[in-house]
Amino acid sequence: MSLRWKAIWVAALVGLMGWAALPSFFSPAAREASIWLADEAMNLGLDLRGGVYWLLRVDEEEALAQEMRTLSGVTQEAAEEQGVPLTATHVRPGGLLELEGDLDALEALASDTLSNVAVSRVEGRLEIRPDADRRAQTIERAVGQVVEVLRLRLDEFGVTEPLIAPHGDDRIMVQMPGGEVDPEAARDAISKVTFLEFKLVLDTDANEELLAAKHPGGLPDDTMIVVSRNPDETIQEAFLVPVEPVLMGSLLDDARLDFDRRNRARISFTWNSEGTEVFREFTGDNVGERLAAILDSEVITAPTIRGRIGRSGVIEGSFTQEEAARLAVLLRSGSLPIGIHIEEERTVGPALGQDSINNGVRSILLGGGLVIVFMLLYYRQCGLFADVTLVVNLVLIIGVMSLLGATLTLPGIAGLVLTIGMAVDANVIIFERIREELRRDQPLRSAVAIGFNRSRLTILDANVTTLIAAVVLLSFGRGPVQGFGVTLAIGIAASVFSALVVTRLLVDSALARNPNQLRI
């Protein structure tokens, strides 16, 4: 390729990266107002922009218990269809399902119906436990469901570019950038389980003790007691209800803050098509009975069914407007399939983030300025070429990160400063190799060609080893560590290109103008 065409395509590439990097130096409002700036810009991490970070852990035991309850239902249906005697089922902590009945027939039924489980007989009952594969699949599925629900919930806050992703086997990383996030409200939205269930009321009394006393032989099978509370948290009424609900909140199509005629806050809701059909049939068959709306194991209202109800309904209770609005958000986004625990929380204010940006920019300017002065003084004309290459290198890094939508973190700024040193290091290797050839009385053009050719392998070897470390950081790191790996990997590629292509182009251009002179 001729020198002219090489200069054209290098200039085009640098110009394109410069155009891509430019939006990163303007605000979002300025980017939207301009027709010349690209839409993509380099994102800023929490440590630069401010925001909230959580590391969440899903409740593994609860996830396994739900899985075994599902298997219990499957087993009961299969036993009923095949006429296998099944007298009782019990789900125990730790992912254990116990079956009582004809053990020989139940063991054969479990082997044919259930997969990835271990079946054993213990003291007149059949025990079913998930194997390692089913446990892993259960946790993976639960994590995926929680991620989707959290994404819906956090979208309600209007935060741009929230990061919600699995972290390891049973953990989830959540990042909400921006100083406008209310940590308390966001934490409540993240950790709130919010199970909404509708159950038929079988019996009532003033409190749990009196209601239990009506059943001296024990509560009927598959029933439980739930209560409603007064604003002062005292028990208002106790209800005997079935364990299995008529409808779950997952069948809701929408839920919104509403007000009754007395301007009291309530929640209006609508069912999806499946929920509407079930609700209409159930209310039509149970006119005159009471229906309990149970939110997080507590009855919030238990009205009497006065007629067939279709798609819409309301939930009334002692809500403030803020409480009703928040509950509507939680119901609208769906119930968390299992509970989660906050293991780590960090909050970074926008002022602290701006201080980090200012300090990072100063470190880049100071480090880059010292390098530029040193190269000019030590390598003269070639030092100027190295300085131009250094600027090109920074343009390439910021341009690529902007096009990829990569996130710049505070460690990423450290990666930028490190890249400056690495970029100059490649030029030092080349220039010192050229000087060695000149001391051997090689002609100038020959010394330049030998210097670049024999330096190439050394530069590639040194940068490939560093690139391996960057790939490891990208693969296994999270948050700021991954941000450092991103900047380092892009910086390595840009440094190699700048040293072997851009610097060579500048040196060859100088020799083309004056074949017998190059100050180095």
pLDDT at 31 over 70: no
Q: Quickly list DSSP for 370-420.
A: HHHHHHHHHHHHHHHHHHHHHHHHHHHHHHHHHHHT-EE-HHHHHHHHHHH
List the 298-301 sheet strands across, edge first.
247-248, 196-200, 291-295, 298-301
pLDDT band at 33 (very low <50, low <70, confident <90, very high): low
pLDDT at res. 161:
59
- Rounded (5°) CA angle 322-328-333: 130
In the three-class reduction of DSSP (H, G, I as helix; E, B as strand; rest coil), residue 83 is classed as: coil
Helices 132-155 + 183-191 axis angle, to 10: 140
Domains along the chain with CATH numbers: 3-50+350-513 (1.20.1640.10), 60-131 (3.90.1070), 198-335 (3.30.1360.200)
How confident is the model over 112-134, as pLDDT tens digits? 888 888 988 888 888 999 998 98
In the three-class reduction of DSSP (H, G, I as helix; E, B as strand; rest coil), residue 193 is classed as: coil
The alpha carbon dihedral of 57, 62, 65, 70 has a sign of: negative
pTM summary value: 0.56
Q: Which residue do the tokens 């003084």 mark? A: 377
pLDDT band at 225 (very low <50, low <70, confident <90, very high): very high
HSE of 130 in the Cβ direction (CA atoms, 13 Å)? 25
* Short-list 425, 449, 429, CA closest to 507: 449
Asked which of 72-86, 296-310, 432-446 is least confident by mean pLDDT, the reply is: 296-310
One-letter amino acid at 386 equals A
* 514 C-beta neighbours (distance < 10 Å), count: 9
Give the span between the Cα atoms of 502 and 514, in whole angstroms. Answer: 19
pLDDT at 40 over 80: no
The alpha carbon of 460 is separated from its chain's Cα centroid by a whole number of angstroms, namely 35
Give the span between the Cα atoms of 323 and 328, in whole angstroms. Answer: 9
Give the span between the Cα atoms of 418 and 492, in whole angstroms. Answer: 10
HSE of 100 in the Cβ direction (CA atoms, 13 Å)? 7
Give the span between the Cα atoms of 302 and 187, in whole angstroms. Answer: 30
pLDDT at 298 over 70: yes
CB 38 within 8 A of CB 168: no
The DSSP call for residue 262 is T
Give the span between the Cα atoms of 352 and 358, in whole angstroms. Answer: 10
How confident is the model over 341-395, as pLDDT tens digits? 888 887 776 555 567 677 777 877 887 788 888 888 888 888 899 889 988 998 8
pLDDT at res. 177:
73
* Average pLDDT along the chain: 82
pLDDT at res. 241:
94
Tell me the helices (H) and strands (E) count for the chain, helix number first: 15, 20
* Short-list 339, 337, 342, CA closest to 67: 337
Distances in Å between the Cα of 278 and the Cα atoms of 111, 244, 251, 517 are 33, 14, 10, 89
pLDDT band at 478 (very low <50, low <70, confident <90, very high): low
CB 257 within 8 A of CB 329: no
- 255 phi and psi angles, rounded to 5 deg: -150, 130
Give the span between the Cα atoms of 392 and 384, in whole angstroms. Answer: 12
Asked which of 12-16, 18-22, 213-217, 314-318 is least confident by mean pLDDT, the reply is: 314-318
How confident is the model over 53-90, as pLDDT tens digits? 888 998 888 888 888 888 888 888 888 888 888 888 88
pLDDT band at 156 (very low <50, low <70, confident <90, very high): low
pLDDT at res. 425:
85
Residue 111 makes CB contacts below 8 A (sequence gap 6+) with 119
Q: What residue ranges in 222-262 does DSSP mark as E strands?
A: 223-229, 235-242, 247-248, 252-259
Residue 254 makes CB contacts below 8 A (sequence gap 6+) with 269, 270, 332
